[in-house]
Chains A and B, each alone.
Chain A
């Protein structure tokens, strides 16, 4: 890493260069951040009803909700009235930190500063606080402690030999091969999907070594090779298109296709050409990235019996409501609320197993039992009228969607907690907030009508947004992306899942077996000794 990235403030660099002052500053910083993280967790669990200590401002004496902590003495203060900044100036102290975000202010620079050491310490402190507070539903286990990746000598050698990827990599337009914008936008959403990118750039499916004919995985591998090559000119995915045509008869030909249909068909093809793919609990790149689980609870209104079924899902299709401008009814959150709302079933759709009779009244409610790593949403913009395929109408309603999405309210766990709390906000459901948070990384838009329309998309690279219109790629802003009329949007989980900290059952089984074996050997020996003694 270059010196510039380590720290942008020479004052903090000087202070951290001295071992003693470094220790004081870092200790103080870690204590402040830990305090806030613990406070936050306690505040979120109403059952504990523990009193939360609140420090007061050293200047105005008001209790602090979001304290700024001087890293040189015991002072805490508020930001808004610039009490903390005045304190630093008066006492000639250099730094204070926001206990909530871990942001550090330098009074010499008169600015917030970045420092790699502080930033790393903030991350690890928050993580260990979260680890302490998250319990699993199963056995009340704590989560497995995070272990940093330590590269082996082999890894280091490999890293040194590796070519670094140019910073603009991944921003290559795709040529339109005759009404193939539906293909371009979906491929761009794959290219900017971090899990698919890591899989294929990690050489997990090498097209030069694969023997499968018409292999979509090989096409993905070729695509990533092209996108991350030095060539910046737009790329024509001819072979991908040809393979798609061979694999799926409905998509063949030069007709305008539906991007969502192609998306689903591409997922299936990548899945089926992955090595070791299976029909149940598959762990191919597609299923480990997109697969979640939906729970459907059907309740008989007569006897209250609930039948629960779980179904796999790869994406979520959402109904639009109303027409015209953005309203509160047409936000992604509102669509998701409707999606997980209890709905009445028709009398013929359900018969209760418990009360035996064909029930008159039953309700069905969906919830998300397992969240996938990548969430893909489709807004149902194309209304198919009657039986005629040509009579499709497009709904142009704008949908408001956020850059960050918290999925907690739509999960099975949260919804059953909410039921217990009777309308109250369940804040005490399992795990820290951060494991429900998702970040937007791609959006697919459709302009025009069903048969003569055009697909474009937005995609995020780091914190920058780009717009893709076939071969044209332009830099844009988050604002422009969020104002667009979305047809599909893709979110990636901010923190990867973790397992409970427990010994796997097969290890325990083996240990038991070994113990049994030992006991048997001892018994045999005893027997042998006994026989020998009698001889």
Chain B
């Protein structure tokens, strides 16, 4: 197992490559169209909007915390699996 510092450096390097080549934009495009088709985006929007409507004082951070928790909980395992495999495929190409 590599030391944590090496892993961090590797992560930063891969992340930079994904951003600079536009790969992350492409993955995001696939992800958002899947999430929209699965109804996840609309459900999250509705959830956070109705939540905001009922908040006594509308402040970003608590609304964000709640939305984030709900977002993670409501993602379907199928979408998660699919996107993870897209990322894995990309990573495997990088290490060839």
Contact = CB atoms under 8 A, between A and B. Distances in A.
Interface string B1-33: 000000000001001100111101110011001
A481 B66 CA distance: 23
B39 A482 contact: yes
Where chain B touches its partner, the secondary structure class is helix
A46 B22 contact: yes
Contact of A403 (B16, B42, B58): B42
B61 interface: yes
Given A63-B15, A478-B42, A479-B43, A111 B60 contact: yes
A525 to B, nearest CB: 63
A46 B15 CA distance: 18
Contacts of B50: 477, 479
A263 to B, nearest CB: 25
A63 B39 contact: no
B45 interface: yes
A52 B21 contact: yes
Given A478-B45, A479-B47, A482-B46, A331 B37 contact: yes
A263 B96 CA distance: 59
B37 to A, nearest CB: 5
Given A51-B21, A52-B22, A111-B60, A402 B46 contact: no
Interface in A317-332: 328, 331
B12 A402 contact: no
B19 A63 contact: yes
A54 B12 CA distance: 12
Contacts of A54: 16, 19-20
B41 interface: yes
Interface string A49-91: 0011110000001111100000000000000000000000000
Contact of A402 (B25, B41, B49): B41
Contacts of B19: 52, 54, 63-65
Interface in A104-120: 105, 110-112
Interface string B53-87: 00000111100000000000000000000000000
Contacts of A111: 58-60
Given A46-B22, A479-B47, A482-B46, A404 B36 contact: yes
A54 B20 CA distance: 6
Where chain A touches its partner, the secondary structure class is mixed
Contacts of A110: 59-61
Contacts of A477: 46, 49-50
A62 to B, nearest CB: 6
A427 interface: yes
A266 interface: no
A14 B71 CA distance: 36
Nearest to B28: A65
Which residue, B26, B37, B41, B47, has most C-beta atoms of chain A within 10 A? B37
A142 interface: no
A272 interface: no
Interface stretch (A37-45, A253-261, A385-393, A516-524): A37-45
Contacts of B43: 479, 482
A333 interface: yes
B25 A406 contact: no
A42 B22 contact: yes
A43 B22 contact: yes
Contacts of B36: 402, 404, 406
A425 interface: yes
A364 interface: no
Contacts of A52: 19-22
A400 interface: yes
B51 to A, nearest CB: 11
Contacts of A112: 60
B20 A51 contact: yes
Interface string A185-198: 00000000000000
Nearest to B40: A402
Contacts of A427: 26, 29
A315 B29 CA distance: 28
Nearest to A482: B42
Interface string A12-50: 000000000000000000000000000010111010000
Interface of A: 40, 42-44, 46, 51-54, 61-65, 105, 110-112, 328, 331, 333-334, 400, 402-404, 406, 425, 427, 477-479, 482
Interface of B: 12, 15-16, 19-22, 24-26, 29-30, 33, 36-39, 41-43, 45-47, 49-50, 58-61
11 contacts: A42-B22, A43-B26, A44-B22, A44-B25, A52-B19, A62-B12, A64-B19, A402-B37, A478-B42, A478-B46, A479-B46
Given A402-B42, A479-B50, 13 more contacts: A51-B20, A51-B21, A52-B21, A63-B12, A63-B19, A65-B24, A110-B59, A111-B60, A328-B38, A400-B39, A402-B41, A427-B29, A482-B42
What are the nearest 9 A-B pairs in CB distance? A43-B22, A43-B25, A479-B46, A63-B16, A54-B19, A478-B46, A333-B37, A403-B42, A111-B60
